Amino acid sequence: MEQYAIKGGNPLVGEVEIGGAKNAALGILAASIMTDETVVIENVPDVRDTNVMMKAIESIGGIVEGIDRHTVKISGKTINDVVIEDGFIKKIRASYYLLGALLGKYKRAQVTLPGGCNIGLRPIDQHIKGFRALGADVRIEHGLIIAEAERLRGSHIYLDVVTVGATIDIMMAAVMAEGQTIIENAAKEPHVVDVANFLNSMGAVIKGAGTDVIRIKGVPRLHGTEYVIIPDQIEAGTFMFAAAVTKGDVTVKNVIPKHLESISAKLIEVGCEVEESDDAVRVVAAKPLTHTHVKTLPYPGFPTDMQPQITVALGLSRGTSIVTESIFENRFKYVDELTRMGANIKVEGNTAIIDGVNKYTGASISAPDLRAGAALVIAGLAAEGMTTVDDIQFIERGYEDFHIKLKNLGAQIEKVACEREQKKFRLKTG
C-alpha cells in the first residue's frame, strides 16, 4: 500500500495553484446529465471522488470525454439506465447527487446508499423529505434509495438542518418540476452557489443561492453549457494552515479570497500575517502561534472540513485552545494519531481541549479520513524527524497531487510504495 514518507522541519515557502472545488465539481458533474445537449466543464479537479462520479455517469450510459486533465465534455443524451448500484459508488458520499439529477430529469432514480468519509452519522432524511415534498415516492430497499414520481411539482420546503447535500440535491430535483419551489434554511456554501450558477447556465431559473432562501422556477428542459468550476476553498485553506504550522510563507493562487475569510480570520488570530489580493492570499507565519477558540459552523462560519487542520496548528500554539465541532459528531478520531506525535489534546464529546506543545515528533500514523489525513500530513511536515502516513487513498479522494504541491513548496515528502522506497527516502533526507 502506498504511503507518504515525510521528513519534517522545512518551512513551506512559495506559491501554490489551487484546483477546482471538489464538492462543487461533484454536484456539477451530476447535474451535467440533466440535459441531452453537450456540457463542457473546466477546472474539474483530478481526484478520486470526481473520477468515481464520472465512472458512475458512464455506468448508466452517459458519455464522458476528457479534453485535458481538468476539462471534460459530458453528454447525458445516451443515458439508458437510472439505476446506480455498483459497489464503487458507495465510496463517495456525493453519490446522492445522482439521485436528485436523475429524479429531476427522468422522474426515476435508484442509487446505492452513500458512503464517503466516516466522520459520524450522515443521514439523508432531508434529501428524502425534499424529494417527497416535490411529489416523489421515496423508499429504501436492499441498500438502494428508490425515488419515483409521475410528475414533480414545486413545493415549499423548510430544511430542519442546514445541509449542503440536501440543498443541492433538492435544487437539482426541482429545476424541471412544475411551478415554483422554495427551499428555506438552505445552505449558503460557495459550492451551493456554484451548482446553482451552473444549472442557471443550462437554462434553470434559480434565485437566492448563497442566501438561506432559494427560489426555483421550474423550466421544461435544460440545455448545454460551458462552465468553469470555482477554486477549492478547503484545498486553499489546507495550504494556508500548512504555511502556519511549518512557520512558512505561502501564497495560495487562483482562489476567491472572500470564500477564505473565516480561515484567514483565524490565522490572523493565532498570529499569522495574511495578505489578500484579487485572486491570491499570502500567509506568513513569522511569529510563534498563539491559542484561540473555534467552533465549526455552516458557511460563512469556520468550515468543518478545516477543523482537523486548525487543530493541528493549535496543538503547536502557546496556551490552551478549544475547538468545538458542531456539524459532525465523530470528527476527532484523528486526535489519537496526533497524540502519538506528541500533541496534548483531550476530547470530550464534540469539543477538543488543546494544550499547545513546543513540537511534534514524527511517527507512523494512518489517515482516518480525507481532511484529517491532510491535517496529519501537515503535522508531519512540522514534526521533528520522520513520519509515515498510511491510507493515503483517503487523502487522494480530495487533494490533487498533494505531495507534489507540498514538495514544490520545499517540503520533504515522497509517495512510497514499499519498504525499499521508504528506506531510500530516509537515506536521501538524512
Beta carbon nearer to ligand UD1, 145 or 345: 145
d(CA 228, CA 226): 7
Burial class (CB in 10 A: 0-12, 13-18, 19+), 230: buried
| Distance of alpha carbon 406 from alpha carbon 11, whole angstroms | 11
Q: What is the nearest approach in angstroms of ligand UD1 to the Cβ of residue 116?
A: 7
Residue 339 CB, shortest distance to ligand UD1, in Å, is: 23
Closest distance of CB 173 from ligand UD1, Å: 13
CB atoms within 10 A of CB 131: 30
Catalytic residue among 6, 24, 117, 149: 117
Q: Which three cell numbers stand for residue 317?
A: 500554539
Q: Cell digits for 417? A: 510504495
Query: Grid cell 414533480 — which residue?
Result: 152
- Measured from the CB atom, the residue of 116 and 154 that comes closer to ligand UD1 is 116
Contacts of 402 (CB under 8 A, 6+ apart): 374, 377, 395, 396
CB 225 within 8 A of CB 202: yes
Nearest CB to ligand UD1, comparing residues 251 and 262: 262
Residue ranges that bind ligand UD1, judged by CB under 6 A: 23, 26, 93-94, 122-127, 161, 163-166, 187, 304-305, 327-328
Euclidean distance between the first and the last CA atom of the chain, given in angstroms as a whole number: 24
Shortest Å, Cβ 63 to ligand UD1: 24
Nearer to ligand UD1, 305 or 414 (CB): 305
CB of 358 to ligand UD1, least distance (A): 31
Residue among 18, 57, 1 at smallest CA distance from 256: 18
Q: How far is the CB of 204 from ligand UD1 (least distance, A)?
A: 19
Compute the C-alpha angle 169/171/172, nearest 5°.
Answer: 65
Nearer to ligand UD1, 23 or 75 (CB): 23
* Residue least distant from ligand UD1 (Cβ): 165
Residue partners of 125: CB distance under 8 A and separation at least 6: none
Place of cell 451530476: 30
Beta carbon nearer to ligand UD1, 49 or 249 = 49
Nearest distance in Å: CB 395, ligand UD1: 14
Q: Is 272 a catalytic residue?
A: no
Contact between 349 and 120 under an 8 Å Cβ cutoff? The reply is no
The whole-angstrom separation of Cα 341 and Cα 358 is 12
Residue 300 Cβ vs ligand UD1, minimum distance, rounded to whole Å: 12
Instruction: Return the number of other C-beta atoms located less than 10 Å from residue 350's C-beta.
Output: 18
Please classify residue 371 by burial: count the beta carbons closer than 10 Å to its beta carbon, then call 0-12 exposed, 13-18 middle and 19+ buried. buried
The residue among 123 and 319 lying less far from ligand UD1, judged by its C-beta, is 123
Q: What are phi and psi of 315, to 5 degrees?
A: -60, -20
Q: Which is nearer to ligand UD1, 101 or 416 (CB)?
A: 101
Q: Strand 13-17 to strand 249-253: parallel, antiparallel, or no bridges (unpaired)? A: parallel
Cell output for 39: 456540457
Query: CB 207: neighbour CB atoms within 10 A?
Result: 12
Residues noted as catalytic: 117
